Structure 1
Amino acid sequence: MADEPENRKRALRAELRERRRIRTAPERERAQTGITQHLVQLASDLDVGFIAAYLSTPDEPGTRDFLRWAAERGIRILLPISREDGLLDWAPYDGEDEEQDILGMPTPTSELLGPIAINGVDLILVPAACVAKDGMRLGWGRGYFDKTLGSMEGCPPVYAVIYDDELVDEVPAERHDMPVDGVVTPAGIVSFAAA
């Protein structure tokens, strides 16, 4: 059946959304501490000076403490802003005011840059519902990051930020789905071997 991968994705996303929703505040705090520590380690190991990341929502594994750390060290940061045409614009992270994009995702209020502004970054951090141990990422179903990653020439390392139990054996995948190079979880950094 042609819709089978999409139906499996939809069911898995619903399960993962619910798991995230019911995490307790202490679980989130412990996860936040580990994720921040490992994001700092990854950025330091890769000696990054320019990254593309995202502002986490309350249910997502937290990226905000890491972004503050990076900004304090002079690392340039771009954050995505969803467009109606399915592409991502980018805006510099200034640590100031936030608003919501067309999907209701938090975005900065700084200068809006176009889709190619991401070219030249040293590291890309992406959200994910879960990631398989072969690096295949299951996003939230709109394809914004898949389009961005699929269109880049000379793409830098791409890491998804997830909870430990969201690193799974396999995910349903379709031709347009893009893998990641690794994941950052509360427990550590996992890098996948290049295929």
Structure 2
Amino acid sequence: MDSDIAHRKRALRAELRERRQNMTSSEREAATTGLTENLKSVVNGLSARSISCYLSSYNEPDTRPFVNWATAEGIRILFPISREDGLLDWTVGDGDEEFTGISGVPEAVGTLLGPIAINDVDLIIVPAAAIDESGLRMGWGRGYFDKTLGSMEKCPPVYAVVFDSEYLQEVPREVHDQPVNGIVTPTRIITV
């Protein structure tokens, strides 16, 4: 059973990667504009003053304009830093200085605050490969965010960011997969 689910996830991830690579620059630009506005709405709606957000890689929905807005608004942003043990560390970077982390994604430069620093935020914004209608998040297979969310005693609202076509009726589920409270796409905000 598990190998069947793992196989279905791999196939779906490959399809989603290809779709992302085939997006035109004008499609990406429009998606970034809509996404930025919708992320601002979520932050304002929750009156969040401290958030965690990732730095997007090339094929992901672009979080940088949103990060710039949040920084200008004086919102404290924790950025994830991947560790060898599969956990996430956190730093308060300005989002300007970055490096490629061990998992191959952009990460902010800053003082490491430790894995439990995430417990102090009002909102967690996570990447995803796809989200389904029940709020189940399928990531890219490394498990960093599933481990983090699964270990939190009191978790603030978690919103996953995807392109519109990545909001699906259903995604394959494994035991460790963590659901989210909301989904932000370029055209809508969905609360689960």
TM-score range, shorter chain: over 0.9
Aligned residues, how many?
192
Corresponding position of 2:189: 189
Say whether 1:120 aligns with 2:120: yes
Question: What corresponds to 2:25 in structure 1?
Answer: 25
Task: Using structure 2 for the length normalisation, give the TM-score.
Answer: 0.98
The percent of aligned pairs where both chains have the same amino acid is 58
Residue 93 of structure 1, CA deviation: 2.4
Find the counterpart in structure 1 of residue 77 from structure 2: 77
Q: How big is the alpha-carbon RMSD for the aligned residues of Structure 1 and Structure 2? A: 0.8
CA distance in structure 2 between the partners assigned to 1:15 and 1:86 by the alignment: 25
Q: Which residue of 2 aligns with 1:65?
A: 65
Distance 1:130 1:159 in 2: 12
* SS of equivalent residue, structure 1 residue 187: coil
Residue correspondence of structure 1 range 162-173 to structure 2 within 5 A: 162-173=162-173
CA distance in 2, matches of 1:96, 1:170: 36
**Partner residue of 1:155?**
155
Look up the match of 1:39: 39
Given that 2:55 and 2:95 are in contact with CA atoms closer than 8 Å, whether structure 1 keeps it comes out as no
1: distance between equivalents of 2:135 and 2:78? 23
Query: Map of 1:82-97 to 2, 5 A cutoff?
Result: 82-97=82-97
Give, in whole Å, the separation in 2 of the partners of 1:153 and 1:95.
28
CA drift of 1:4 comes to: 0.7
2: distance between equivalents of 1:27 and 1:48? 29
How far, CA to CA, are the matches of 1:34 and 1:93 in structure 2? Answer: 24
TM-score normalised by length of structure 1:
0.97
Unaligned runs of 5+ in 1: none
Moved over 4 A (4+): none
1:109: which partner in 2? 109
Deviation string, structure 1 residues 43-78 (Cα, Å, up to 9, x no partner): 000000000110011110011101110011110000
Separation in 1, partners of 2:41, 2:2: 42
In structure 1, C-alpha distance between the alignment counterparts of 2:97 and 2:164, rounded to whole Å: 31
Provide the C-alpha distance between the structure 2 equivalents of 1:190 and 1:162, rounded to a whole number of angstroms: 11
